[in-house]
Structure 1
Amino acid sequence: MSHQAFSPEKQDFGRDPVDVRDTDHYQKEYVHRFVDKWDELIDWDARYRSEGDFFVQLLKERGAKRVLDVAAGTGFHSVRLIEEGFEVCSVDGSAEMLAKAFENGRRRGHILRTIQADWRWLNRDVHATYDAVICLGNSFTHLHTEHDRRKTLAEFYATLKHDGCLILDQRNYDAILDHGASSSHKYYYCGRQVSAEPEYVDEGLARFRYSFPDDSVFHLNMFPLRRDYTRSLMKEVGFQDVTTYADFEEDSGTDGEEPDFFIHVAEKRYRNPEASEATDQED
């Protein structure tokens, strides 16, 4: 990943924006003006209330102490976990995002440990192992090819200790692809008078439009991951078990209101299939 000396003020998607399906393009999408407004979209206080201690409890239940936040963005989850006593290292591919995260952390009395790194070569820049890796905020969908997704998951896997876990979230692209559903902003994007809606969708691209109260508009081009596809990739890379939650509740797969997001918890800990089968029979 190249380290840019400056960031342009305007996004550039070329003549045909829906043709932009390149993993590396995100560096041109997170321009300074967009990053500066990102916290309006999230609304930290509202998101604190909507998430509660969901991620904190997931990590504590697994005995995690050292956490690698590989999609730190403007620092929301890094700061949240630091305040809960976790040792956190914050990673992002965008220098603009990391600068904003560091500023947000300092404003709250914390000095974030930050690393700018491309996930596909994560272990080139991150030289420690962690109890947990978190990849939140729909960030994994910036990877536009299956090769990039597999390589990234393998890098996450290698960064984890032998009994570590990966927590990764994604929008409910199944609903968007199949029904044209859009986010209700109930949990993730809590900012008032801010919209984050799909503008164009096909099986290979989800182009989102972000509108702000001052009439500024930005876009992100992402890959629309289907729920079961993501779960399969995790298992194929080597994770032993994957539990999926729908908006912070375990996903039962039953019909009902479509969730905004899916959250996958992938365990690296080895489970003996024969022992598991014996336990199931005893039950």
Structure 2
Amino acid sequence: MTTKAREQQSFGENPVDVRETDHYTDEYVKGFVDKWDELIDWDSRAKSEGTFFIDKLRELGVKKVLDVAAGTGFHSVRLLEAGFEVVSADGSPQMLYKAFENARRRGHVLRTVQADWRWLNRDVHGEYDAIICLGNSFTHLFAEHDRRKALAEFYAMLKHDGVLMLDQRNYDGILDNGYDSKHQYYYCGDNVSVAPVHVDEGLARFRYQFPDESEYFLNMFPLRKDYTRKLMKDVGFQQIDTFGDFQQTYKDQDPDFYIHVASKAYQEED
């Protein structure tokens, strides 16, 4: 494949027919990855989410973290700077390269590994106090058996009292009421437009437009909140707390994003 080809996305003649888990590697082309930090804006995102993840992990006594959707390294670097031991994984080699360079410019050396969540134990070694899967990344899995397999792999890599932190867009709101975003969390870049161009129960196709008039697309599965929680319960997580835009109390239609904090620790019935 030529460099030019790697910089162009390809969805075929009918983009809304693309509903395959493995296609995400073709979506994160070099041109899109190079603009990813422009999209999320590290400083603005750090301000919007505050120390939510750092505080939760410290509260749970976490020391060793596996970031399974490292992207360009935002959360991996933040956790490193907060004193956690971090291993950074991603399915996209372009993202991992960018993450490593971002960390190096900030004086850190990331421990990176390219990994497919469905075979995480094959590609990544060790047990972890916590696994984080952030940035709406879990929605790249289109088949239910892929989602169950990935969650089972996360569960297996956690220590007996480990915790999984997984986030997602509020797809319930998008599916039931249409798209409306405060543009305050996650994608905080100025003059960057993010909006769906097609939504049904099996596909949310988002367009990302940048100030230089370039545009890219991601095809994602629109996970409903309670469905995600049920999958976590099914693979064995004992307690699941769900936050809306980092708040414990919220109205279901209000949050742009949900964050699920799922504990593996065994809980005896009353």
TM-score interval (norm. to shorter): over 0.9
1:89-104 matches, cutoff 5 A: 89-104=87-102
User: What is residue 198 of structure 2 aligned with on the other side?
Assistant: 200
Deviates more, 1:82-91 or 1:179-188: 179-188
User: Could you tell me the TM-score, scaled by structure 2's length?
Assistant: 0.97
User: What is residue 81 of structure 2 aligned with on the other side?
Assistant: 83
Q: Which runs of 4+ in 1 moved over 4 A?
A: 4-7
Give identity over the alignment, percent: 69
Gaps of 5+ in 2: none
Q: Work out the CA distance in 2 between the residues paired with 1:153 and 1:49.
A: 29
State the structure with more CA Rg: 1
1:143-222 matches, cutoff 5 A: 143-222=141-220
User: What is residue 241 of structure 2 aligned with on the other side?
Assistant: 243
1:209 corresponds to which letter in structure 2? R
Q: Work out the CA distance in 2 between the residues paired with 1:190 and 1:111.
A: 26
Given candidates 6, 10, 20, the residue that maps to 2:18 is: 20
1:183 is displaced (CA, Å) by: 2.3
1:184 is displaced (CA, Å) by: 1.9
1:181 is displaced (CA, Å) by: 2.0
* 1:233 partnered with 2:227: no
1:5 is displaced (CA, Å) by: 9.5
Given candidates 256, 259, 267, the residue that maps to 2:255 is: 259
Deviates more, 1:200-209 or 1:243-252: 243-252
1:17-56 matches, cutoff 5 A: 17-56=15-54
2:156 corresponds to which letter in structure 1? A
Cα gap change, 1:63 to 1:261, in 2 (>3 Å): same
Q: Secondary structure at the match of 2:211?
A: coil
Given candidates 60, 63, 83, the residue that maps to 2:61 is: 63
CA contact (8 A) 2:134 2:166 kept: yes
Q: Secondary structure at the match of 1:111?
A: coil
Q: Work out the CA distance in 2 between the residues paired with 1:251 and 1:88.
A: 30
1:59 is displaced (CA, Å) by: 0.3
Please give the per-residue CA displacement for 1:81-127, whole angstroms capped at 9, x wherever unaligned.
00000000000000000000000000000000000000000000111
User: Could you tell me the TM-score, scaled by structure 1's length?
Assistant: 0.93
1:249 corresponds to which letter in structure 2? Q
User: What is residue 114 of structure 1 aligned with on the other side?
Assistant: 112
1:238 corresponds to which letter in structure 2? G
Q: Work out the CA distance in 1 between the residues paired with 2:21 and 2:112.
A: 22
* 1:139 partnered with 2:133: no
Q: Secondary structure at the match of 2:6?
A: coil
